[in-house]
Amino acid sequence: MAIIPINLQDGSIVKFADSIIGIDLGTTNSLVACMQDGQPYCVKDAAGKNALVPSVVHFAADGSVVVGEAARAHLITDPANTIYSVKRLMGKSYRDVEDIQGFFGYKILDDDTESLVKVRVKDRYFTPVELSADILRELKRRIEAELGQPVTRAVITVPAYFNDNQRQATRDAGKLAGLDVLRIVNEPTAAALAYGIGLDPGQSEIIAVYDLGGGTFDISILQIQDGIFEVLATNGDTFLGGDDFDQVIAALFAAQSGISADTVAADKSLGQEIRLLAETAKKALSQSEVFEGIVAGKPVRITRAAFEQGIEPLVRRTLDCCANALRDAKVGLDKIDKVVLVGGSTRVPLVKSGVADFFGKTPFDALDPDEVVALGAAIQADILAGNQKDLLLLDITPLSLGIETVGGLMDTIIPRNSKVPNRAGRQYTTSVDGQKNLKIAVYQGERDLVQHNRKLGEFILRGIPPMPAGLPKIDIQFIINADGILTVRAKELRSGVEQEIDIRPTYGISEEDMARMLLDSISNATEDMRIRGLLEARNEANNLLNSGDKFLEQNADILSEAEKATTKNLLIDLRKATETEDKDLIHRAIEELNAYTSPLAHRAMDETIRGAMRGKKV
């Protein structure tokens, strides 16, 4: 944000040669969209029919991986190898999903409660990131076929309530699928953008985004001001959606055709047949007043009135969530300017009218509710590409901002992912006696040393009265305004000497650079971890080498020549291992030495005790 020139008069906009695409990576369905002649559109399947790609991955017996409609067919025929709802697992540990394990028809790995979950398919394990990457690859293939050119950059949407882990996991999935994820955007923000809400810089309003999908319900209250989308509150139910509507109809159809719940439970394909017909009926009832069909040779029938009666409690639950969200946002019903409908299930007339009655407003529903998030993602992508004039869309700072301190260290003042506008400050002092001038260098990035980050500018605070080192009190304030301009202000509090500079977006950094810098910080984190692991292994080895030598010395009488020789050889192996950079090799050498010497140590201890007993002879 702040320092990113999305659109500048001086021509420093970064224009990408290839298109940036927008992706809605949904729990039930995913979509990919891009811009054409200034309008967003969702890319359809090869037959030109369906824009939705079911978020389902099937692993066939021959090892091939199928995604989408073709995979969905296997939910019944091959449930153990057909993965759905993987979005529910993103960035989660086993402990996080323990309670909902029964929901999944496939195996979730449960050996380690703290680490991130994996899914078992046959004899292989997959992370939710890998499985999401499979879905993203399918979307990438689809749009590349449509555009006839490779696509590498994307904006991906996530629910507003996704935490950092879940957002990072989504980013990683993109990377794995060969996509540079330029930005992760909140689904409700994207939905608003699709309706053009927030695109007018002068506009200031509060909106509610009501998203009822296949299995989840989300309500978000957003405040939009000067192109800044701030999430005031989110609420919802992670197990409430169109699937539950299907269940209501399915139960009725089963009863009408004289099939007991037990029979349905026992006969999976019959159960699925009824569920599929129920979904067809539900969709039909969004248009017609009555639906008639056949289950197991018997006619079944449902009217819209009966359907509405059945789902009324479910709809009421969503409205209770809306009330809670408003309460959390501390926003009265009368303060809501607009209501936006998202998700396939908002096509149900009772849902539409329920939301309209609750908010006392006609909701925005002109766009296809399945597509609206993807369409908004494409608009966001277009903004990032610099194609939308005079538009600065900011919601968070993408990189940390800070100053250089002694030793070239980066001292972060506004951390990455902070909201804008923003203000933060900290106090510093001098490191040299009588220091009169102080250089304040401002950097952007995630690395510990400023030399690895990007310098945004510097200035000198002059005229500090001579004082011993450590006595001056220098207050540094970072202020980012809604236009993304960072002002850095420095003031020596004892003398009142003051200086400030504006760091304008002309110092900006392209989205490309930003992506690279973030990746750098991640890849270097791995390197930092590797080095730490190596140092720890070496420390452990050195301790062992010392005690090993002592052990041989002290127990020379107890050990056989062969035992001494083997121990010595193992110690030599370990010493050699410590000279390498390979921490696994060191660990293996440690284990071998321990395995061999621990029985010897036990024997030595026994001997020592026996000796002590002998000495104590009474």
Active site residue 371: no
The Cα 220–Cα 343 span in angstroms is 13
Give the active site residue among 138, 172, 187, 243. Answer: 187
Question: Minimum distance from CB of 227 to Mg ion (Å)?
Answer: 24
Sheet strands (E) in 25-81: 29-36, 39-42, 53-54, 56-59, 65-67
CB nearer Mg ion, residue 198 or residue 213:
213
Site for Mg ion in 2-61 (CB under 5 A): 26
Using rule CB under 5 A, residue 214 touches Mg ion: no
Site for ligand ADP in 242-271 (CB under 6 A): 242-243
Q: How many CB atoms lie within 10 A of CB 413?
A: 20
Site for ligand ADP in 278-337 (CB under 6 A): 279, 282-283, 286
Q: How many residues bind ligand ADP (CB under 6 A)?
A: 21
The Cα 244–Cα 519 span in angstroms is 41
Using rule CB under 6 A, residue 511 touches ligand ADP: no
Sheet (strand 454-461) strand order: 409-414, 401-405, 438-444, 454-461
- Residue 220 binding: pick among ligand ADP, Mg ion, none (C-beta 5-8 Å cut-off by kind): none
Using rule CB under 6 A, residue 487 touches ligand ADP: no
Closest C-alpha among 519, 525, 517 to residue 3? 517
CB nearer ligand ADP, residue 14 or residue 75:
75
The Cα 491–Cα 161 span in angstroms is 38
Closest C-alpha among 545, 521, 356 to residue 449? 521
- Residue 216 binding: pick among ligand ADP, Mg ion, none (C-beta 5-8 Å cut-off by kind): ligand ADP
- Residue 421 binding: pick among ligand ADP, Mg ion, none (C-beta 5-8 Å cut-off by kind): none
- Residue 214 binding: pick among Mg ion, ligand ADP, none (C-beta 5-8 Å cut-off by kind): ligand ADP
Site for ligand ADP in 534-593 (CB under 6 A): none
Write the burial class of residue 274 (CB in 10 Å: 0-12 exposed, 13-18 middle, 19+ buried): buried
- Residue 215 binding: pick among ligand ADP, Mg ion, none (C-beta 5-8 Å cut-off by kind): ligand ADP
CB nearer ligand ADP, residue 27 or residue 166:
27
Closest C-alpha among 65, 62, 68, 54 to residue 26? 54
117-125, 343-351, 540-548, 604-612 -> range binding ligand ADP (CB under 6 A): 343-351
CB nearer ligand ADP, residue 86 or residue 450:
86
CB nearer Mg ion, residue 103 or residue 596:
103
The Cα 388–Cα 373 span in angstroms is 18
CB nearer Mg ion, residue 226 or residue 370:
370
Pick the binder of ligand ADP from 370, 404, 492, 511 (CB under 6 A).
370
CB nearer Mg ion, residue 370 or residue 446:
370
Contact 40, 545 (CB under 8 A): no
CB nearer Mg ion, residue 52 or residue 488:
52
Give the active site residue among 138, 172, 211, 243. Answer: 211
- Residue 174 binding: pick among Mg ion, ligand ADP, none (C-beta 5-8 Å cut-off by kind): none
Question: Minimum distance from CB of 193 to ligand ADP (Å)?
Answer: 17
Contact 430, 464 (CB under 8 A): yes
Question: Minimum distance from CB of 310 to ligand ADP (Å)?
Answer: 13
CB nearer ligand ADP, residue 214 or residue 445:
214
The Cα 362–Cα 205 span in angstroms is 16
Among left, alpha and beta (phi > 0; psi -120 to 50; other), residue 564 is: alpha
Contact 56, 30 (CB under 8 A): no
Query: For the chain, first and last CA: distance in Å?
Result: 84
The Cα 535–Cα 512 span in angstroms is 34
The Cα 29–Cα 39 span in angstroms is 22
Question: Minimum distance from CB of 244 to ligand ADP (Å)?
Answer: 9
Please report how the helices 583-615 and 561-578 are oriented relative to each other, as an axis angle in degrees rounded to 10.
Answer: 150
The Cα 485–Cα 507 span in angstroms is 10
Site for ligand ADP in 194-213 (CB under 6 A): 213
Question: Minimum distance from CB of 192 to ligand ADP (Å)?
Answer: 16
Using rule CB under 6 A, residue 344 touches ligand ADP: yes
Angle among Cα 340, 345, 348 to the nearest 5 degrees reads 90
Question: Minimum distance from CB of 345 to ligand ADP (Å)?
Answer: 4
**Residue 227 DSSP symbol:** T
- Output the CA–CA distances (angstroms, integers) from residue 532 to 526, 579, 605, in the order listed: 10, 15, 34
Give the active site residue among 24, 138, 218, 365. Answer: 24
- Residue 380 binding: pick among Mg ion, ligand ADP, none (C-beta 5-8 Å cut-off by kind): none
Question: Minimum distance from CB of 401 to Mg ion (Å)?
Answer: 33
Amino acid letter, residue 411: D
Pick the binder of Mg ion from 198, 213, 445, 472 (CB under 5 A).
213
Contact 459, 476 (CB under 8 A): no
CB nearer ligand ADP, residue 243 or residue 404:
243
Question: Minimum distance from CB of 17 to ligand ADP (Å)?
Answer: 32
Give the active site residue among 87, 140, 282, 352. Answer: 87
What are the residues facing 411 on neighbouring strands?
403
CB nearer ligand ADP, residue 53 or residue 559:
53
Using rule CB under 6 A, residue 188 touches ligand ADP: no
- Output the CA–CA distances (angstroms, integers) from residue 33 to 15, 38, 43, 370, 416, in the order listed: 19, 12, 6, 12, 28
Phi, psi angle pair for 492, to nearest 5°: -85, 115
Write the DSSP assignment of 96-125 as a string of letters. HHGGGGGG-SSEEP-S-SSSBP-EEETTEE
Written as six digits, the tokens of 218 are 């989300």
188-196, 327-335, 338-346, 521-529 -> range binding ligand ADP (CB under 6 A): 338-346
- Residue 505 binding: pick among ligand ADP, Mg ion, none (C-beta 5-8 Å cut-off by kind): none
* Total residue length of the chain: 618
Active site residue 24: yes
Site for ligand ADP in 29-58 (CB under 6 A): 29
Question: Minimum distance from CB of 26 to Mg ion (Å)?
Answer: 4
Catalytic positions: 24, 87, 187, 211
Interface with Mg ion by CB under 5 A: which residues? 26, 213
Interface with ligand ADP by CB under 6 A: which residues? 26-29, 213-216, 241-243, 279, 282-283, 286, 343-345, 347-348, 370
